Amino acid sequence: MKKNTNENIKVLIADDEVEFSSTLQTRLNLRSFQATAVYSGKETLRVIEEEHPDVLLLDLKMPDLDGLEVLARLKEEHPDIQVIILTGHGSFEVGKEGMELGAFDYIMKPVDLNVLINKIKEAYAAK
Amino acid sequence: MKKQTNIIHKILPDPLKSSIDLGLVRRNYGHFRLILFVTMLIITAVPVTTIAILGYSNYKSLLQKDERIQLKWQLDGSVRAIEQMVDSLKSVVQFAARRDRYKELTTNSNLKELFDRLHRQYPFFADLGVIDKYGIQQAYYGPYGLQGTDYSGESWLKAVFNQGLHISRVYKGYRNVPHFAIAVGNYDPRTRQTWVLRATIDAKTLQQFVDTIKTNASDDLFLIDDEGVLQTQSDYYGQALDRSNIETKVGIWLDISPEEEAILHGTGNIRTTPWSLVIMKKGYVTQNAWKSFRSKLLLIFFTCTGVSVLIIYSLVTLLTSLIRKADEIQISMMQEAEHKDKLASIGRLAAGVAHEINNPLAIINQKTGLIDDLLQIAVDFDEKETLQLNLKSIDANVERCKIITHRLLGFARRTDILHEKLGINDIIREVLQFLENTMLYNRITLDLQLHDNLPPISSDRIQLQQIFLNIVNNAMDAIGKDGTVSIITSMIAGEIRVVIQDDGAGIAQDLLPHIFEPFFTTKETGKGTGLGLSITYGLIKKMGGDITVRSNVGKGTAFTITLPINNEHT
């Protein structure tokens, strides 16, 4: 069991909405998370290799690679990374598909930061 | 088909056209029924009526022809019989008036002896007279004492001198008794004188003879002279010597009797006499054959027509109601399809809008969050608190927008209900997969009592998942941390029952009636939209099921969901 403090948690935010992901990154860092933001599917896969995040906040619709595709590839190579699907394009069906591919949970935008942080902590704890 | 319709369209008056419109419209079924009824009636009635009329007129003309022929035979036979009688009378008189007997008959009592001899054989001879060339009756024997009568001015005498024979009309003459005369003219070579033997015959003889040839085959038979005076008694026109207005032309024609009956009227001339024989027979209409034919024909015609009307009426009624039913089904199917289509379109549109708005909302939400974060770090300044209040107001309104977009997405998901055979226990297990991690994290124990042999239900997988996810989520929220959620499935009265209970906070009794109302929530602001249970309630009702709730504050809450195995409501 890892120690449940924010400093230890590496969070990667993958969302093509730059304004959203960069702001979220700043706010998480303000709360002592080690947050990084990426803006495309391919970039996500590359940064994962470099940074090995604990939790990935993943948007489902990105211009180059679909979020579900990213999720599928990621889970093959790094099953230990917890993925929380975070999208405005969600529906229950897509969420369910994500869960079947191994996502930890599914949250619809816009999301309250406290709810999100609790979810990140849950995911990290379940790692 | 198209052409036929066009023709019908040309014939029909405008108000009736809509009722045979092939398109999908609500027709006037009264008009439709009327058109169908009248058309079928015409199609049936025209041939039946035509055949009836043809049969009627053909049989009528056949009977008439037959009757005419029969009357003609009867007339000819009767005319011949009377001619023979007249001939024989004429022969007797001619024999008696041999040329050279003028002298003999005008002397002594020879005329009396001739009369006696004649009278013995032919009792109807009334008298005999011998008339000289000057028209003076030189000798007479008979009961009336007409010796010496001067006939020189009489027209019949000239006729006798010219033609040698004259048969008179029936008349009363000097004797005042109906009789007729047969006068035979002769030229005596010895005296070189023309003379006439005139025999008077009682008209009763004629009547008796006519009576003997009159049979049942005719209704009236009598003799009439060329001036229309009856020579014998007539049933229709009166006694002998009455004057009548009967036409005396020869032939057979239809006439009206004085009793206003249709009669066949036949007239034939009797040779060498001024008489015509008239024979009358009541028309075919009164005859039995015709009467029975006509009544049978009418019976058949009206029976056929009546039966046709009945059959057509019931057929038309049946057809109309079938078409009405088919139309109604078609129209309601169309409307339903349109409605579904509309709902689906609205759903897609709503979902699209919601998706598009969610992303900008998320950005606004994060930006205000960041500003708030920075404000908290920053040193205090005059308007800091006001800024923070305004940020909260922005957040609250973002939350309102979010509720709307999520509601729109929920609505989009509700539009279609698919039907597949589903195991209720499988659905519950699938839903629990989503929640396992959260339960673990919150130390919530799961108590599953799933009945093994439940029949599959026909329903929509996604919607069932949504229902259970919602209720179980609520149960977990009610517990918070450390507790137990029990899920019990069973079969009750042919329906599936699922009880989901928690040992959480419970719901106050005064709030219980409101929990299925839209936007009703006990969760703190931002945690619940107040739509979950109302959407769940709507879904269950739409599936033909039911949801009830029992709750005690501090003890827990139990939701009981009842679902039909075959959903007949959608």
Quote ipTM for the complex. Answer: 0.86
β-pair partners for A13: A37, A57
Report DSSP state, residue B229.
B
Q: What's the Cα-to-Cα distance from B257 to each of B161, B227, B233, B283, B522, rounded to whole Å?
A: 41, 19, 16, 10, 112
Class of domain B64-286: alpha beta
Q: pLDDT category, A123, cuts 50, 70, 90?
A: very high
Instruction: Please check whether residue A127 touches B, CB under 8 A.
Output: no
Facing residue for A110 by CB, picked from B402, B440, B441: B402
Kindly list the residues from chain A whose CB atom is less than 8 angstroms away from the CB atom of residue B466. 92
Q: Residue B413 and residue A91: Cβ atoms within 8 Å? A: yes
Only one residue has tokens 């009830």, namely B548
DSSP helix/strand/coil, B124? coil
Cβ contact (<8 Å) for B362 and A126?
no
Q: What is the pTM of this model?
A: 0.45
Residue B362 contacts A where some CB pair is shorter than 8 Å: yes
Interface check for A66 against chain B (CB to CB < 8 A): the answer is: no
CB contact under 8 A, B355 and A89: yes
Tokens 């009669």: give the residue: B263
Residue A26 included in any domain: yes
Q: Which is nearest to B569 in space by CA: B425, B445, B457?
A: B457
Nearest to B358 among A26, A106, A109 (CB): A109
| Tens digit of each residue's pLDDT (9 = 90 or more) over B478-507 | 898 899 999 999 998 889 999 999 998 888
To 5 degrees, how large is the angle CA B436–CA B438–CA B444?
80
Q: How many CB pairs under 8 A join A and B?
A: 81
A88 at interface of B, judged by CB pairs closer than 8 A: yes
**Contact flag A88-B361 (C-beta cutoff 8 Å):** yes
Does A72 fall in a domain?
yes
Chain B closest CA to A38's CA: distance in Å? 16
All residues of chain B having their beta carbon less than 8 Å from the beta carbon of residue A99 are 433-434
Average pLDDT in the A96-109 region? 84
The number of beta carbons lying within 10 Å of the beta carbon of residue A47 is 17
**Would you call A91 and B466 a contact, using CB atoms and an 8 Å cutoff?**
no
A92 within a domain of the structure (yes/no): yes
Q: Is residue A118 part of a domain?
A: yes
Choose, out of A25, A91, A106, A122, the residue to mutate when testing the contact with B (most B CBs < 10 Å). Answer: A91
Closest-CA distance, A111 to chain B, in angstroms, reads 7
Kindly state whether residue A1 falls inside one of the protein's structural domains. no
CB contact under 8 A, A109 and B361: yes
- Mutate: best of A83, A104, A109, A122, partner B, most B CBs <10 A: A109
B257 φ/ψ angles, rounded to the nearest 5 degrees: -75, 165
Q: Tell me the longest C-alpha to C-alpha distance in chain A.
A: 37
* B437:A122 CB<8 A: yes
User: What is the C-alpha to C-alpha distance for residues B88 and B124, in angstroms, rounded to an integer?
Assistant: 13
Please indicate if any CB of chain A lies within 8 Å of the CB of B437. Answer: yes
Residue whose structure tokens are 């329903």: B459
- Check B433 against A91: CB less than 8 A apart: no
Q: Which residue in B249, B236, B230 sits closest to B281, CA to CA?
A: B236
d(CA A24, CA A13): 8
Q: Which residues contact B446 (CB under 8 A, 6 or more apart)?
A: B432, B439, B484, B485, B487
Q: Output phi, psi for B430, to 5 deg.
A: -60, -45
Q: In what order do the strands lie in the sheet with B495-502?
A: B444-450, B483-492, B495-502, B556-564, B546-552
Contacts of A41 (CB under 8 A, 6+ apart): A14, A62, A63, A64, A65, A66, A67, A69, A70
Four-way CATH pick for B417-570: 1.20.1510.10, 3.30.565.10, 3.40.30.10, 3.40.50.970: 3.30.565.10
- Which pair of structure tokens corresponds to residue B288? 């039995």
Q: How far apart are CA B499 and CA B322, in angstroms?
A: 47
What type of residue sits at position B436? E
- How high is the mean pLDDT of chain A? 86
Interface touch A89/B358, C-beta < 8 Å: yes
In this structure, what DSSP letter does residue B175 have?
G
User: How high does pLDDT run on average in chain B?
Assistant: 83
What does the alpha-carbon distance between residue B409 and residue B347 come to, in Å, rounded to a whole number? 8
Q: How far apart are alpha carbons B484 and B447 in whole angstroms? A: 7
The burial of B326, by beta-carbon neighbours within 10 Å (0-12 exposed, 13-18 middle, 19 or more buried), is given as exposed
Nearest to A92 among B369, B440, B465 (CB): B465
| Domain ranges within chain B, ordered by starting residue | 64-286, 417-570
Is the previous residue joined to A110 through a cis bond, with omega within 30 degrees of 0?
A: yes
Which residue ranges of chain B lie beneath pLDDT 70?
1-26, 99, 174-175, 216-217, 283-287, 339-348, 350, 407-408, 410-419, 518-520, 522-531, 567-570
B64-286 and B417-570, same CATH topology: no
CB contact residues (below 8 A), chain B span 404-433, against chain A: 406, 409, 412-413, 433
Q: Is residue A83 part of a domain?
A: yes
Q: How far is A10 from chain B (nearest CA, A)?
A: 19
What residues in A contact B391, CB-CB < 8 Å?
none
Residues in contact with B376: Cβ distance below 8 Å, sequence separation at least 6, in sequence order: none
- Inter-chain CB proximity B466 and A92 less than 8 Å: yes
Query: Across the interface, do A109 and B406 touch by the CB < 8 Å criterion?
Result: no
CA angle B16/B18/B19 to nearest 5° reads: 70
- Residue B317, Cα to own-chain centre: how many angstroms? 10
Measured between CB atoms, does A19 come within 8 Å of chain B? yes
Among A20, A99, A125, beta carbon nearest to B366: A20
Boundaries of domain holding A35: 6-125
Contacts for B257-266: CB closer than 8 Å, 24+ residues apart: B257/B282, B261/B286, B262/B286, B263/B219, B264/B67, B264/B68, B264/B71, B266/B71, B266/B72, B266/B74, B266/B75
Are B363 and A20 in contact (CB < 8 Å)? yes
Between strands B220-225 and B457-459, the pairing is: unpaired
- Return the residue of B nearest to A122 by Cα: B441
| Partner A contacted by B443 (CB < 8 A) | no
Reported as a single tens digit per residue, the pLDDT across B111-124 is: 888 888 888 888 88
Q: Which residue of A has its CA nearest to B368?
A: A23
CATH code for the domain in which residue A29 is found: 3.40.50.2300
* B438 vs A contacts (CB less than 8 Å): 105, 122
For residue B175, give the nearest of B136, B135, B127 by alpha carbon: B127
B555: exposed, middle or buried (Cβ count in 10 Å: 0-12, 13-18, 19+)? middle
Say if residue B443 is exposed, middle or buried (CB neighbours under 10 Å; 0-12, 13-18, 19+). Answer: exposed
Q: Is the dihedral of CA B230, B233, B238, B239 positive or negative?
A: positive
- What are the E-state strand segments in B378-531? 420-422, 444-450, 457-459, 483-492, 495-502
> At a CB cut-off of 8 Å and minimum separation 6, what does B275 contact?
B82, B169, B223, B224, B225, B231, B269
> H helices of B200-287, where?
203-213
* Residue B544: φ, ψ to 5°: 85, 15
- Domain total for chain A? 1
Give the Å distances, CA to CA, from B232 to B83, B174, B555: 15, 20, 133
Summarised one tens digit per residue, pLDDT across range A43-89 is 999 999 998 999 999 988 788 888 888 898 888 888 899 999 987 76
What DSSP designation does B284 have? G
* Interface membership of B305 toward A (CB under 8 Å): no
pLDDT value of position B364: 94
| Residue whose tokens read 């026109």 | B237
Tell if the CB–CB gap between A19 and B366 is shorter than 8 Å.
yes
